[in-house]
Amino acid sequence: MKVRWGVVSFPGSNDDDDALHLAADVLGHDAVRLWHKDADLKGVDIVILPGGFSYGDYLRCGAIARFSPVMQSIRAFADGGGLVLAICNGFQILCEAGLLPGALVRNRSLSFVCQDVAIRVDNAATKLTSQCREGEILDIPIKHGEGCYFADQATIDGLVANRQVLFHYADAQGVVSAEANPNGSLDSIAGVCNRAGNVFGMMPHPEHAVEKLLGSVDGLKLFLSLADAVSSGRGARASA
Amino acid sequence: MKARVYVTLKNGVLDPQGKAVAHGLHSLGFAEVEDVRIGKYMEVAIATGSRAEAESRVREMCQKLLANQVIEDFRFDLEGDGAS
């Protein structure tokens, strides 16, 4: 079964083409661009909200994008069990929209960080991580100025209790430490999912780690996990 | 009517910008500076004659967009009146 991926383009998105390339050229699946003004999700199985600087990061990163017509459709798609992967600016948008818990604030260093990081898979039983092993280290790049994950303690406790923390920043041996935390995220959290387990947000860019040329292919496992969830009937297709 | 809206980071949310500015002030000899927190100030012009209505509408604007209540607090006053 050919999986159909939809990648949203907001004004200011800049990783949408990379995600489309991943889906169409690397995976050989169907890939369609979803324009932010268009509420039609074109019958996709999976929606990717890509990185970038939607609406110039005005007010707060992600604060304006959530009003786009496409976001109303994505909310309904997610409520119906549709699979949504939000990367970097996409993660910021879904936190602003309340589809994922918490918020992303200015990096503790105040610097924009652009580097390869190691992230540890802390729950391999989700639709995004089923092709990974628990504790596996993935080499995936980050590039952001506002990627410091924050939520109040009750929210963090809930995320941990429900196993919604999918990735932690770690060193190459998988040890979580302040030194291996590139942005000051609380508890070194690099990625989370919603309670229902169908909406995922992460600051690292798996779409930039899908070909040897890019230095790492570890990101592929996440996309293959999502595709597998669709193939095995654990997703929900958007109406065409 | 004009609303003056102040959005500030909640206590407990780290403010690295404020810390950097505090260091700058220390470098300039303002040794008495203990802490700096940076926020946002917005002016919202509203077409209404009713203060009560303006107050409830601005509060709603803050809750829905102007502040992200996961990380920020807000307060506001209406022009010519210090009450919020």
In this predicted structure, the answer to whether residue A94 has a pLDDT above a threshold of 80 is yes
The confidence score (pLDDT) of residue A2 equals 83
Closest Cα in chain B to A105: B71
- Interatomic CA distance for residues A185 and A182, integer angstroms: 8
Instruction: Give B-chain residues touching A184 at CB under 8 angstroms.
Output: 14, 16
Q: What is residue B9's three-state secondary structure?
A: strand
Summarised one tens digit per residue, pLDDT across range A157-199 is: 999 999 999 999 999 999 999 999 999 999 999 999 999 999 9
What is the average pLDDT score of chain A? 96
What is the average pLDDT score of chain B? 93
The confidence score (pLDDT) of residue A236 equals 87
In this predicted structure, the answer to whether residue B40 has a pLDDT above a threshold of 90 is yes
- Mark yes or no for CB contact A59/B65 under 8 Å: yes
In this predicted structure, the answer to whether residue A81 has a pLDDT above a threshold of 90 is yes
What are residue A189's phi and psi, to 5 degrees? -70, 125
Give the one of A60, A110, A148 whose C-beta lies nearest to B68's C-beta.
A60
Q: Full-prediction pTM beyond 0.90?
A: yes
Closest Cα in chain B to A155: B70
The confidence score (pLDDT) of residue B82 equals 43
- Mark yes or no for CB contact A59/B14 under 8 Å: no
Domains annotated for chain B, with CATH where assigned, are 2-78 (3.30.1280.10)
- Interatomic CA distance for residues A92 and A67, integer angstroms: 14
- Mark yes or no for CB contact A110/B17 under 8 Å: yes
Give the one of A59, A96, A184 whose C-beta lies nearest to B14's C-beta.
A184
- Cβ neighbourhood burial of A204 (10 Å; 0-12, 13-18, 19+): buried
Catalytic residue numbers of A read 88, 205, 207
Instruction: Give A-chain residues touching B13 at CB under 8 angstroms.
Output: 105, 150
CATH class of the domain at A4-231: alpha beta
Beta strands, E only, B1-84: 2-9, 40-45, 72-78
In this predicted structure, the answer to whether residue A89 has a pLDDT above a threshold of 90 is yes
Structure tokens at A10: 């907001």
In this predicted structure, the answer to whether residue A216 has a pLDDT above a threshold of 80 is yes
- Mark yes or no for CB contact A150/B16 under 8 Å: no
Angle at A3 between CA A194 and CA A18, to 5 degrees: 75
What are residue B57's phi and psi, to 5 degrees? -70, -40
- Interatomic CA distance for residues A183 and A35, integer angstroms: 31
| Domain spans, chain A | 4-231
The confidence score (pLDDT) of residue A33 equals 98
| Closest Cα in chain A, distance from residue B5 (Å) | 13
- Mark yes or no for CB contact B16/A184 under 8 Å: yes
Contact residues for B30 (Cβ-Cβ < 8 A; gap 6+): none
- Interatomic CA distance for residues B83 and B78, integer angstroms: 7
Give the one of B14, B66, B70 whose C-beta lies nearest to A108's C-beta.
B14
The confidence score (pLDDT) of residue B80 equals 61
- Interatomic CA distance for residues A221 and A36, integer angstroms: 28
The confidence score (pLDDT) of residue A74 equals 98
